[in-house]
Every structure is written in C-alpha cells, then in structure tokens.
C-alpha cells in the first residue's frame, strides 16, 4: 500500500508539471514478487524453485512454458509537446485511476482479513 501511495504522488507530480518545459514524466518500477518467490529456502538451506503443478491439460501453463513477451521488439513512442514536455495527461490519468483501484483493492482485502481474524477470535466480523 505504501508503494501505491508513493506512486500516486509521483503521478500527481507528473500531472502538475504537464506544462513545464523539458519535463519528463517519472514512474516507480513495479514490485517483482516473482523474483522474491524465485528461490525459497527449504530444509537445511537447500534452495528449491517453486513450481506450479497442472492436473488438467486445460489449466493455464506454468510461467516457464509461456513465450517471453519481452522477446518481441516493440517500438516505444512518446508524444512530446512543442515545449519539449513529454507528459501525456490521458496516460497519467489512466495510471492514476489504476493506482487508485489497486489501493482500494488492497484496503478491502486488508479489512476483510481483519474481520476474519476478529470472527475467529469470537469478537464478530463487524467493524
């Protein structure tokens, strides 16, 4: 949630500088939980990779079985205003909306988790 809050501040700064000459928009890099789960310590410090099992041919394939989307070349284009400003307000507003939705999702999950713990303790799920 702290990451999302900080990202929203960076996006707001981009929007605020939409008319600033030579301003380039900034963004935070996404947190890569896959890297965190890449190696899991098991018994006696042996490292074992986490692997997804599929029990049905219709299940989604494992990540290592999918084609790498980064292998395809994609032309990156940026819209630049006459004042050499590269802030695209529509793009920043979409990022802001997505960040707000992600933050609300995390808040709701946190609230439901707290209510579940309260219910388990016998104090009811209200609050």
Quick one: pLDDT band at residue 30, thresholds 50, 70, 90?
confident
Question: What is the per-residue pLDDT across 37-67, written as a single tens digit (0 to 9) for each?
Answer: 665 555 555 666 556 677 777 777 766 666 6
Percent of the chain with pLDDT over 70: 63
- 17, 68, 69 from 72: Cα distances, Å: 33, 8, 6
| Dist. CA 14–CA 25, nearest whole Å | 5
Q: What is the pLDDT of residue 116?
A: 92
What would the pLDDT profile of 80-119 be if each residue is shown by its tens digit? 666 677 888 888 999 999 999 999 999 999 999 999 999 9
CA-to-CA distance for 107 and 95, rounded, in angstroms?
18
């Amino acid at each position: 949630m702290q990451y999302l809050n900080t990202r929203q501040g960076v996006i707001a700064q981009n929007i605020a500088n939409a008319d600033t000459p030579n301003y380039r928009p900034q963004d935070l890099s996404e947190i890569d939980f896959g890297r965190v789960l890449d190696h899991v310590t098991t018994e006696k410090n042996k490292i074992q990779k986490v692997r997804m099992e599929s029990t049905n041919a219709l299940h989604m394939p494992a990540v290592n079985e999918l084609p790498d989307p980064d292998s395809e070349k994609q032309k990156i284009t940026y819209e630049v205003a006459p004042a050499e400003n590269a802030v695209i307000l529509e793009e920043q507003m979409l990022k802001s909306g997505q960040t707000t939705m992600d933050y609300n999702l995390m808040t709701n999950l946190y609230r439901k988790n707290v209510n579940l713990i309260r219910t388990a303790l016998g104090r009811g799920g209200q609050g």
